[in-house]
Amino acid sequence: MAKTTSSHRRYREDMSEMPDWMKQKKCPNRHKYLAGRRILPKNLTGKEKLTDIIDNAFLAYNSARLRESCQLFTEKMLEPDVTIGMSLSGALTPAGLGCSSIVPLIKAGFVDWIVSTGAILYHDMHFALNYPVHSGSFKMDDTELRDNDIVRVYDVLLGYSDCLMATDEILRNIIVQPEFQKEMGTAELHHLLGKYAAEWERKAKLKDVSVLAAAYRAGVPCYTSSPGDSTIGMNVAGVELRGNKLRLNPAIDVNETTAFVLAAKRSGGKSGVFLWGGGSPKNFMLQTEPQIQEVLRIKEFGQDYFLQVTDARPDTGGLSGATPSEAVSWGKVDPDRLPDAVVCYTDTTIAMPLLTHYALARHKPRKLRRLYDQRGAMMEALTKEYFAHNKVTMLDGSHPKFA
């Protein structure tokens, strides 16, 4: 990084043509504002490491926010005492981001719990099943694609019968199995599906292509905020018409995710959220703190780290674009931690591989927290604290029983 030496520096007062009133003007805080790094990057040569380009050439506007995201994640959020929730929306798995980025992040212990759209997890199954997803073009004729049994996600193409409908058929055959015949939360649903996905990967001699399989192996609980709103939910509804007994209970998901955040805080550690895109997964992840404070009336202060990559603007009032400072007013983010909040306005398909590379290059893997296996204990701790903070009994007047 080039430095300005004192012999090269010119002061306002030394400029001969400057009028006296300007020379005499007092600017007591000027040095504070100009204390930031000087923008004078080295010429790129083609020999740099990607991490060095991010550190040294991503200097302004959204590239600077991307650098700050990489640095916040790697230098602060990946500390061993931080529990990290990651929300996923947008068409990430069809774009290959499950294989390239989300699976490596899970394997490295860089994400402890996930809230995803059902669509991301549904399309993840094509990869585990070895059903190809292809690059195409956004300029294609969609009527022609429909006539040729192809569906399109912008510039990604999937077979309708041999990929989508084939996945659906296998999914339906799985969710009618005995282990699915009960009420459960979506973490359990996805864990059970992940077991199958891991087996499909193994049979197809594929390694680490599926988010569901990786999350299953790593004990990362994977929730969906709208269980009915994806082809997984559609197939669950389809077999219910035939008497299937699978019932997804979103209240289980709300309480379990809340228990993770409370457990992180009560262990003396921190809680951080990493939000890819917006949508309902973002809110579902962030509502854990209002659930603690507003509904369960337990004293708490909000998330310690807030990191979002999004295209959504804040001025429409939509949740997808809501800023961390707006989240402070809801108790979602601790106001004292706002300096540790970054919003990067860019496409997640650009940011995710860059950030994943940066984190893997700069930080050693973390021990897997395996929150999936700790759901029971953390739920009990949450329930105990709820009853300790409130003058309430069970609805039948009894007192809750704990193990």
- As a whole number of angstroms, the distance between CA 248 and CA 183 comes to 6
* Out of 98, 221, 279, 290, the residue judged to bind ligand NAD by CB under 6 A: 279
Instruction: Give the gyration radius of the chain's Cα atoms.
Output: 25
Q: Compute the least distance from the CB of residue 21 to ligand NAD, in Å.
A: 49
- Binders of ligand NAD among residues 298 to 327 (CB under 6 A) are 310-312, 320
Evaluate whether 362 touches 74 at the Cβ level (below 8 Å): yes
Residue 72 CB, nearest approach to ligand NAD (Å): 18
- CA-nearest of 272, 352, 275 to 319 is 275
48 vs 229 by CB, closer to ligand NAD:
229
Query: How many residues form the binding site for ligand NAD (CB under 6 A)?
Result: 21
Residue 42 CA to its chain's centroid (Å): 33
Min dist. Cβ of residue 91 to ligand NAD (A):
6
66 and 54 Cβ atoms separated by less than 8 Å = yes
Contacts of 282 (CB under 8 A, 6+ apart): 87, 89, 275, 308, 319, 320
278 belongs to the binding site for ligand NAD (CB under 6 A): yes
- Which CB sits closer to ligand NAD, 332 or 337? 332
> According to the binding rule CB under 6 A, does residue 89 interact with ligand NAD?
yes
CB atoms inside a 10 Å sphere around CB 284: 21
Nearer Cβ to ligand NAD, position 159 or 279?
279
Active-site pick, 207, 332, 367, 391: 332
87 scored as a contact of ligand NAD (CB under 6 A): no
Q: What is the DSSP letter of 14?
A: G
244 binds ligand NAD (CB under 6 A): no
- Annotate 289-350 with DSSP letters as a single string: HHIIIIIS------BSEEEEEE---STT--GGG--HHHHHHTTSB-GGGGGGEEEEES-HHH
User: Minimal CA–CA distance to 358: which of 53, 42, 99, 43?
Assistant: 53
Contact 386, 292 (CB under 8 A): no
- Nearest alpha carbon to residue 228 among 217, 236, 239, 220: 236
Convert residues 168-207 into a mask of x (bound to ligand NAD by CB under 6 A) and - (unbound).
----------------------------------------
Please confirm, yes or no, whether 47 is among the known catalytic residues: no
Least spacing, CB of residue 231 vs ligand NAD, in Å: 4
Contact set for ligand NAD, span 211-240 (CB under 6 A): 226, 229-231
Element (H, E) at 114: strand 113-116
Query: Residue 247 Cβ, how far from ligand NAD at the closest point, in Å?
Result: 19
Window 329-368: contact mask with ligand NAD (x via CB under 6 A) = ------------------xxx-------------------
Residue 290 binds ligand NAD (CB under 6 A)? no
Among 97, 114, 119, 342, binds ligand NAD (CB under 6 A): 119
For 82, the token pair is 């931080």
Q: Which residues are catalytic?
A: 332
Using CB under 6 A as the criterion, which residues of the chain lie in contact with ligand NAD when the complex forms?
89-91, 117-119, 122, 226, 229-231, 277-279, 310-312, 320, 347-349
